[in-house]
Amino acid sequence: MALMAVGLTTHILNNHIKSVLLLLGFPLLLMLMLGGFYAAMDVTIQGSVQPIQFDWQHAAQAGLYGILRYGHWAIGAATVWFLIAFFFHGSMMRMASGAQPVTRQEMPRIYNMLENLCISRGMQMPQFEVIDSPALNAFATGLNDKTYRIVLTRGLIERLTDDELEAVIAHELTHIINRDVRLLIIAVVFVGMISFFAEMVFRLLIYGGRPNYYMRRRDDRGGSGALLMMLIALAILAIGYFFAIMIRFAISRKREYLADAGAVELTKNPEGMMRALLRISGHDRVPSMPDEIQQMCIENSHNFMGIFATHPSIEDRVQIISRMTGTPVPVLQVSLKRGPRGPWQQG
C-alpha cells in the first residue's frame, strides 16, 4: 500500500507538471508553427523561381517576419480561446457529447453509489450527466470541485449490474482524485486550438491569397501559384494535426491502470471492475462523439492500427487487476435481459 501511495503521489505530481508545461509550451508552439509556415512558404516560392538555388537566410527572415508581424494576434486569439474554454468548458463538453444533467430525484441509484464512494474519501460529490446512447461508456470532466462532472451513457446505466456500475463510477471518481481530468481538459482545449488554427491557415491560403510579404518580393508563378498555395496549406494542416497527436502521446496511458486500481480500492470489488470492463469491451463507441472527448472515456477502442491508441487494451487491464488482486478473471454469463430502450430504437 505504501508503494502504491508513493506511485499515486508521483502520478499526480506528473499531471501537475504536464499541465503547467502544456500551458507554458503552447504559446511557443504557436510561434514555431507560425514561423515555420512563413519560412516554408518562402522556400517553396523560391523553388518555383529557381529550383536549384535557395536563399535559406531569407527563409529564416521570412519566418521571423511572420512571428513578429502576426505572433501577437495568434497569442491573443489563443488566450481568448482558452479563457472561454476555462469558464465554459462544461457547456462546451455538454454540446460536443450530447450529455444532459440529471438530479438525484431523477436517478437516485447512481447518486447513492457516488455518495457512498465520496463519503469514504471525504470529498465533495461531483454531479452526474447522462448521454442518451445505447453505448457503454463514461468519462469525467471539470477543472475544480464546483465543475467536476461524471458522465455516463444510458446504455451503461441500464445494462450493468449495481456492482459493475459502482466500479465504473469509482473509476471516473479516481480520475478526478488523481487530477487526470484537469490535464485531459487542457489537452483537449489545446488540440482543438491547433486543429482550428491549422484549418484556418488552410482556408486563408486557399481563399485568401498570398501574404503581402511575398507580394513585395516577386511577381511570378502564373498558374503554379495556386498549386503551391494548396501544397503549403496541406502541409500546415498536417503539421497541426501532427502536434495534436503528439499532445495526446504526452498523456500517459498509465492513467487508466491507476484509475482501475483506484476503483478496486474504493469498492473492494475487483471482480466487479473486471466484469464492467469486459461488458464495455466492443460497445464503447458513442456515435458522433468527437475523438478528443472519446479519449477521455473509460474505454476508447478507436485508433489507427493500434498506433495512436489512447487506452491500453481491455484484456491487459483485466489481466493486471486479476494478477494484482489474485482474483480469477470472471466469465460473463449469457443474459436474457432486454437492452435499453430509447429514442435510438424505433417501434
Residue 290 grid cell: 468527437
Q: What is the pLDDT of residue 181?
A: 85
Q: How far apart are CA 329 and CA 319, in angstroms?
A: 7
Q: How far apart are CA 152 and CA 172, in angstroms?
A: 10
Q: How far apart are CA 148 and CA 144, in angstroms?
A: 6
The DSSP symbol for 56 reads H
Task: Tell me the CB-side half-sphere exposure of residue 11, using CA atoms within 13 A.
Answer: 24
Question: How many CB atoms sit inside 10 A of residue 77's CB?
Answer: 15
Q: What is the pTM of this model?
A: 0.74
Q: How far is the first Cα of the chain from the last one, in angstroms, to the nearest whole number?
A: 53
Sign of CA dihedral 83, 89, 90, 91: positive
Catalytic residues: 172
DSSP character string of 168-189? HHHHHHHHHHTTHHHHHHHHHH
Q: What is the pLDDT of residue 222?
A: 44
Sign of CA dihedral 295, 301, 306, 312: positive
Q: What is the pLDDT of residue 220?
A: 46
Where are the extended beta strands (E) located within the chain? 99-102, 127-131, 138-141, 149-153
pLDDT digits (tens, 9 = 90+) for 267-309: 999 999 999 999 999 899 988 888 778 888 999 887 654 456 7
The DSSP symbol for 306 reads T
Q: What is the pLDDT of residue 303?
A: 64
Q: How far apart are CA 22 and CA 29, in angstroms?
A: 10
Please state the separation of Cα 220 from the chain's center in Å: 44
Residue 322 grid cell: 486479476
SS3 131: strand
Q: What is the pLDDT of residue 116?
A: 93
Q: What is the pLDDT along the chain (347 residues), one digit of tens a residue?
A: 444 444 556 766 776 676 667 666 677 777 777 777 777 777 666 666 555 566 677 777 877 877 888 788 878 877 887 787 777 878 888 888 889 999 999 999 999 999 999 998 889 999 999 999 999 999 999 888 888 999 999 999 999 999 999 999 999 999 999 888 887 787 777 777 776 766 666 666 556 555 555 444 444 444 455 555 566 666 666 666 676 666 666 666 788 888 999 999 999 999 999 999 999 998 999 888 887 788 889 998 876 544 567 788 999 999 999 999 999 999 887 654 555 555 444 43
Residue 140 grid cell: 469525467
- Residue 66's identity, in one-letter code, is G
pLDDT digits (tens, 9 = 90+) for 91-105: 888 888 889 999 999
- The torsion angle over the Cα atoms of residues 127, 274, 93 and 132, rounded to 10 degrees, is -80
CB 144 within 8 A of CB 89: no
